[in-house]
């Protein structure tokens, strides 16, 4: 599978795309790159990116993996949802400016209903974060939103 430009495979737009590029893509694995820039979204006044943003970097790497698979199958890139994470651990409070983060996601489980689990990590010199993310991609996002909206209590 070839690595497409990140903006073509992640269902985000503009500065909400936090990743810079895809470095590697395999059947069940992706490695994306994020360089921390002092003017980036979520960056603190000191130029550091808070470590909690690591969960979103991991989620976007999963989205990029799914988008690459869709592109390879000549299908549209679809919306997915981060349902939760288990045991997010990071050895730093923030990612310093200039850090070149390698964000890896490996699919460890999926089912025919759209549920999936990925083991993720972020690595750079003196930086390590890891977590397991649970994700969901409905077959039809529009129908899913209509169903959820119909179940919401109205004020």
- The band of 28, judged by pLDDT with boundaries at 50, 70 and 90, is very high
Task: Quote the percentage of the chain above a pLDDT of 90.
Answer: 70
Indicate the pLDDT class of residue 138, thresholds 50, 70 and 90: confident
Average pLDDT over all residues of the chain = 90
Within a domain: residue 34?
yes
Task: Please report the pLDDT score of residue 123 as a whole number.
Answer: 98
Residue 92 has pLDDT above 70, yes or no: yes
Q: How far apart are CA 120 and CA 130, in angstroms?
A: 6
Whether residue 10 is contained in a domain is answered as: yes
- What number is the average pLDDT over the span 73-77? 90
pLDDT at 79: 86
Domain hosting 128: range is 6-151
Within-domain flag for 137: yes
Distance CA 60, CA 56 (A): 6
Long-range contacts of 106-115 (CB under 8 A, 24+ apart): 106/28, 106/29, 107/28, 107/29, 107/65, 108/132, 114/80, 114/138, 114/139
Does 139 reside within a domain?
Answer: yes
Does residue 1 belong to any structural domain of this protein?
no
Report whether pLDDT(152) > 90: no
Composition of the chain by helix, strand, coil, percent to 5: 25, 35, 35
Share of the chain above pLDDT 70, in %: 88
> What does the pLDDT read at residue 91?
98
Q: How many domains does the chain have?
A: 1
Confirm whether 104 is domain-assigned: yes
Q: Give the CATH number of the domain where residue 48 resides.
A: 3.10.129.10
Residue 76, pLDDT > 80, answer yes
The closest alpha carbon to 131, from 92, 104, 111, belongs to 104
């Amino acid at each position: 599978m070839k690595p497409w430009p990140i903006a073509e495979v992640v269902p985000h737009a503009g500065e909400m795309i936090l990743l810079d590029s895809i470095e590697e893509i395999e059947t069940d694995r992706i490695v994306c790159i994020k360089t921390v820039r002092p003017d980036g979204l979520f960056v603190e006044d000191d130029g550091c990116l808070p470590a909690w943003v690591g969960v979103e970097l991991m989620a976007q790497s999963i989205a990029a993996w799914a988008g690459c698979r869709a592109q390879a199958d000549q299908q549209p890139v679809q919306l997915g949802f981060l349902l939760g994470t288990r045991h997010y651990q990071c050895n730093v409070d923030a990612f310093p400016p200039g850090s070149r983060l390698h964000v890896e996601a490996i699919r460890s489980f999926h089912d025919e209903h759209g549920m999936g689990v990925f083991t993720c990590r972020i690595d750079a010199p003196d930086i390590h974060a890891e977590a397991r993310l649970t994700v969901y991609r409905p077959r039809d996002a529009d129908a899913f939103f209509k169903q959820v909206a119909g179940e919401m209590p109205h004020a």
